[in-house]
Amino acid sequence: MYDIARLIDDHDVLDKLADRLIAAARPGQADPLACRALMMRLAERLATHLRQEADFLLHDAPGAIRSVFGQELANFADDFAELTQGWDIYLDRWMPDEIAEHRAAFAGETADLLTALKLRIAREAQLLYPLALESGRMSFN
């Protein structure tokens, strides 16, 4: 049995970091080095969260694949694959010199991508966690 509270707390932190990066990306706000540092902080926190979450949600997954929870989890993973690919491209593309040269494009792409991430986090909290609670895969401790 896993503790959902820690993952929910992570969601709050990720959501706030995404908001900070969206704001920092706007022209006239944070300098490119600060934007890149915030990107990397968010990337590290997100990677850690996703690893913990995968272990958390996929525990004993082979037997769950036939369940409603397992099907929803599989659908969710498929949907998230595109966002993950976009996130990787974003991290590779936006180095400080690119941010400085193409600030408006950086701000737009940041807002679009991080809005999608925030929606993914909200969907996860609304869909996957209740299913995991119902299936007995986790509990509030």
Name 2's bridge partners.
138
Contacts of 81 (CB under 8 A, 6+ apart): none
Share of the chain above pLDDT 70, in %: 68
Give the separation between CA 45 and CA 36, rounded to whole angstroms.
14
Cα separation, 127 vs 138, in Å, equals: 14
CA distance 66 to 76: 15
Give the pLDDT band (50/70/90) at residue 125: confident
Residue 140 counted as domain residue: no
CATH of the domain at 103: 1.20.120
Residue 141 lies in a domain: no
Q: pLDDT digit string (tens) for 53-110?
A: 777 666 544 454 446 566 666 666 666 777 888 899 999 999 999 999 999 999 999 9
Instruction: Determine, yes or no, domain membership for 111.
Output: yes
Query: Within 13 Å of residue 22, how many CA atoms lie on the same side as its CB?
Result: 14
| Residue where the block lists tokens 């996703």 | 50
Residues 116, 132: Cα–Cα separation, whole Å: 23
Domain count, the chain: 1
Could you tell me the residue range of the domain that residue 41 belongs to? 2-135
| pLDDT tens by residue, 4-25 | 677 778 889 999 999 999 999 9
Judge whether 118 lies within some domain: yes
Within-domain flag for 78: yes
- The predicted structure's pLDDT at residue 49: 83
